[in-house]
Amino acid sequence: MLGRLFTFMVGIILLLNGVYANELLNKNNISCIGENQSISQLQGEGHRSPYVIKKGSKRYRSDLFFTVKGVVTKLKLGRNAGFFMQQIDKSTLSLASKGIFVRTTDMTNIKVDTNVCVTGVVEEYYGMTQLHPTAEVIVLGDAKAVAPTNIVVATVDANFRETLERYEGMRVRLVNMTDMRVTKPLYYDRRWQRYNIILSHQQINIHPNTAAFPSSIFADQHALNNKQRRLYLQLSGRPTLITKSDYIRVNDKVAGVVGILQFSYGEFRLVTDDQVSKIQFTHLSDRETLPPRTTHHLRIASFNLLNYFNTVAGGTHNPLRQNRGATTRLALHRQETKLVKTIVTLDADFIGLMEIENNGFGKNSAIQRLLSLVNRQIKDPDKQYKMLQPDQSDLYRGRYLGSGAITVAGFYRPSKLQHVSTRVIDLPIQRSILGNAYHRPALTPTFMRDRGYEKESEQLTISVNHFKSKGSKCVADKQRSAMLKKLRISSRKNNTSLQKWQRTKLKFKQDRQGHCAGFRSLAASVLAQSLARLGGDKIILGDLNSYPKEDPLLVLTDYKQARYAYYKIKGSTHSYLGQQLIDLKLDNGFGYHDPFINENTDSWTYSFQALGRLDYILVNTDLLSDVVVKKVWHINAAESRLLNKDKGFLNKIAFSSDHDPLFIELK
């Protein structure tokens, strides 16, 4: 009897406590029952929560439960759903973040600008500190919106990544003092279906292999510095900064953007509250027009056209019957308008072209169509162009320059260059049971150049090239992938295989040359050897798909085995020149010079994960002293690729391709 009475009384007490608690909540009381920590205490002043760190083991969740209070600053729906909350009380930990992400799918009644009470465990989820509720999130009532905190670098921060760590999960603002620069303009991430801009602290990010050898300590440090400076600006909704007056360029300074700072997939991301606007971007390196050129100099240019195909205009088929370019007449018209204006404005006496459809040289070919469009815009007959056309015997099937869908081409002015001959230099082919790989042939004309003040004309040979890309795999890459797959399967059984798999994977990643580096190096050697048999001055130009300190460029320029004893350039297996099996045998580079080599921070021509130069105009030693002008025209790599889809830019040059054109002038 007494037991039943005791049970009844306990029930009454619990019921009264529950009613009293509900009354407190209904009165918008902002007290958090059981609160035993602040958000900043959970975050701590390091890159991990102090409650998740434990020596001798990898831990990702705290043993203890915590109850914290804060104001909801943003809801995150979809995958990894939850909300961000931030404490409004002052923190005794000056270097700790006051914001945190609460991972939960139950967000009933949870709204931005409300006080909430959360009980749960602290987790480190792929580098981001978060709170995982173990009880229902209690809404305490409405709250004032949390004012954004300015991101400021502290003197104790070893790098900018440590600065960002102090604001993880918080509502923040970029200010002028933060000094953030655009290092990759507006682009669309198809995987996650969102728009991003990549920023970098104080400077733009240049590819590590621009000034340091692949896999070297200096290249690794450069890559680390790039990562530590990087911040993704993740935009809310479709942006508007792709019009004639509103645009974003590389090296723009960004200030005034507000959002929530989060960490995912190894990168910090500022998720904006609203659309970014023109006033938040200051052009430090704005668009520029080319000044008038000196007519008595010889201007030589290189330009990758980004898949110029005339298939939709009734063009002749290429050997592979592919169309990698415009799919409508309107798209082709827009592409041609930009390309023609760019080529005419470059005003080069010779221009090497890459990524043009390989559909012959007849009236329905892409090169003939482009030549006609360009000459139509040039009124002075002395400035009009002729195209290079090899002998039929040098062409694939008597019609094509190479067997691929794209090829290289060249325009020259007969008024400045007297054409002597056009050679086709075949480059190596890989043949293997794992598949074949190809280089495009090198289009190599020889001219007589009238120097005017010289007694005799001088012979000049220019070789137009487009080496194998970094994307698709060659034999060595396929072999490596097969080995990694085998090691990954074995790693499930023993740690030795796991460690070997990790080392092999890391070694390839640290090289950063992409696929087919050895195959490109072999092509560089074959090309240089072929040119060595010719007299006169020589120029190698084009898209070599290599950054300045990567193996193919070392082969062509200043590599010396005695000087770089620790660094060995590897060749390519299963490679043939005709029917002959060949490999790279190299003690010294071939001595060509890169006029842009000392301008690494401004001579980039392409933007991928970082800015770098894939396009070159290399000259032989005797010609180097004649180079009086050198210029990379930043009209493409500095711009958003979304400009290519904007009809408002029909008559503009901006983003006519994904590569910047470059040129030199010879006296």
Residue 275 has pLDDT above 60, yes or no: yes
pTM of the model: 0.90
Structure letter (DSSP) for residue 383:
G
For 132-156, what is the mean pLDDT?
96
Percent of the chain predicted with pLDDT > 70:
89
Are residue 359 and residue 382 in the same domain, yes or no?
yes
Domain limit, last residue, from 84, 112, 142: 142
SS3 labels along 417-460: EEEEEEEEECCCEECCCCCCEECCCEEEEEEEECCCCCCCCEEE
Where does residue 104 fall: left (phi above 0), alpha (psi -120 to 50 degrees), or beta otherwise?
beta
Neighbours of 388 (CB within 10 A): 22
For 580-586, what is the mean pLDDT?
93
Q: Which two tokens stand for residue 348?
A: 């080069």
Q: Is residue 2 part of a domain?
A: no
For 490-494, what is the mean pLDDT?
66
pLDDT band (50, 70, 90) for residue 491: low
Please enumerate in sequence order all residues whose Cβ is within 8 A of that of 160, keeping only pairs 6 or more positions apart, or say none.
153, 201, 202, 228, 229, 231
Task: For residue 334, report the phi and psi dihedrals to the nearest 5 degrees.
Answer: -65, -40
Are residue 617 and residue 658 in the same domain, yes or no?
yes
User: What is the reported pLDDT for 17?
Assistant: 40
Task: For residue 658, report the phi and psi dihedrals to the nearest 5 degrees.
Answer: -100, -5
Count: domains in the chain: 3
9-13, 235-239, 273-277, range with the lowest pLDDT: 9-13
8 A C-beta contact, residue 214 and residue 513 = yes
pLDDT band (50, 70, 90) for residue 324: very high
Q: What is the CATH number of the domain that holds 558?
A: 3.60.10.10
pLDDT band (50, 70, 90) for residue 14: very low
Q: Is residue 566 part of a domain?
A: yes
Residue 249 has pLDDT above 60, yes or no: yes
Are residue 217 and residue 335 in the same domain, yes or no?
no
Question: H or E stretch including 579?
Answer: none
Which residues are paired to 582 by β-bridges? 575
Structure letter (DSSP) for residue 588:
B
Query: What mean pLDDT, rounded, does the chain reach?
Result: 90
Q: Is 280 helix (H, G, I), strand (E, B) or coil?
A: helix
Are residue 226 and residue 252 in the same domain, yes or no?
yes
141-145, 470-474, 488-492, 580-584, range with the lowest pLDDT: 488-492
Are residue 404 and residue 311 in the same domain, yes or no?
yes
User: What is the reported pLDDT for 35?
Assistant: 86
For 319-328, what is the mean pLDDT?
97
Are residue 167 and residue 134 in the same domain, yes or no?
no
Residue 358 has pLDDT above 80, yes or no: yes
Domain limit, last residue, from 250, 282, 314: 282
154-168, 395-409, 412-426, 501-515, range with the lowest pLDDT: 501-515
Please enumerate in sequence order all residues whose Cβ is within 8 A of that of 578, keeping only pairs 6 or more positions apart, or say none.
426
Domain limit, last residue, from 142, 169, 189: 142
Are residue 569 and residue 461 in the same domain, yes or no?
yes
Residue 16 has pLDDT above 50, yes or no: no
Report the b/e string of 238-276 with b at 16+ CB within 10 A.
ebebbeeeebbbbbbbbbebbbbbbbbeebbbbbbbeeb
Are residue 262 and residue 339 in the same domain, yes or no?
no
Q: Is residue 16 part of a domain?
A: no
The candidate with the shortest Cα–Cα distance to 580, out of 361, 378, 429, is 429
pLDDT band (50, 70, 90) for residue 510: low
Residue carrying the six token digits 């080496």: 467
8 A C-beta contact, residue 402 and residue 356 = no
For 432-460, what is the mean pLDDT?
87
5-9, 136-140, 215-219, 634-638, range with the lowest pLDDT: 5-9
Q: Which two tokens stand for residue 23?
A: 């009354």
Quick: pLDDT tens for 59-111.
Answer: 789 999 999 999 999 999 988 899 999 999 888 888 999 999 999 999 989 99
User: What is the reported pLDDT for 483?
Assistant: 79
Residue 247 has pLDDT above 80, yes or no: yes
Q: Is 308 helix (H, G, I), strand (E, B) or coil?
A: strand
Q: Is residue 508 part of a domain?
A: no
Which residues are paired to 189 by β-bridges? 194
Helices 475-491 and 495-511 cross at an angle (nearest 10°) of 150
The candidate with the shortest Cα–Cα distance to 241, out of 646, 606, 611, 650, is 646
Cα gap 422→394, rounded to integer Å: 10
pLDDT band (50, 70, 90) for residue 485: confident
Q: Is residue 535 part of a domain?
A: yes
Question: H or E stretch including 529?
Answer: helix 517-532
Pairing of strands 429-430, 537-543: unpaired
pLDDT band (50, 70, 90) for residue 202: very high
pLDDT band (50, 70, 90) for residue 592: very high
For 408-431, what is the mean pLDDT?
98
Amino acid at position 391, single letter: D
Q: Is residue 505 part of a domain?
A: no
Are residue 165 and residue 112 in the same domain, yes or no?
no
Residue carrying the six token digits 């010289």: 454
Cα gap 64→52, rounded to integer Å: 9
For 462-478, what is the mean pLDDT?
95
Q: Is residue 445 part of a domain?
A: yes
Are residue 133 and residue 155 in the same domain, yes or no?
no
Q: What is the CATH number of the domain that holds 101?
A: 2.40.50.140
Are residue 594 and residue 616 in the same domain, yes or no?
yes
SS3 labels along 119-179: EEEEEEECCEEEEEECCCCEEEEECCCCCCEECCCCCCCCCHHHHHHCCCCCEEECCHHHC
8 A C-beta contact, residue 100 and residue 93 = no
Domain that holds residue 264: 149-282
Task: For residue 259, report the phi and psi dihedrals to the nearest 5 degrees.
Answer: 180, -170
Residue 649 has pLDDT above 70, yes or no: no
Q: Is residue 17 part of a domain?
A: no
Cα gap 132→64, rounded to integer Å: 12
Are residue 272 and residue 315 in the same domain, yes or no?
no
HSE-CB at 537 with a 13 A cutoff on CA atoms is: 19
The candidate with the shortest Cα–Cα distance to 272, out of 238, 247, 246, 244, is 238
Cα gap 118→133, rounded to integer Å: 6
What is the distance between the terminal CA atoms of the chain, rounded to a whole angstrom? Answer: 113
Helices 495-511 and 217-229 cross at an angle (nearest 10°) of 80
- Among 25-29, 60-64, 231-235, 647-651, which range has the highest average pLDDT? 231-235
Cα gap 51→63, rounded to integer Å: 8
Please enumerate in sequence order all residues whose Cβ is within 8 A of that of 32, keeping only pairs 6 or more positions apart, or say none.
67, 68, 69, 117, 138, 140
Quick: pLDDT tens for 23-40.
Answer: 333 334 457 888 889 999
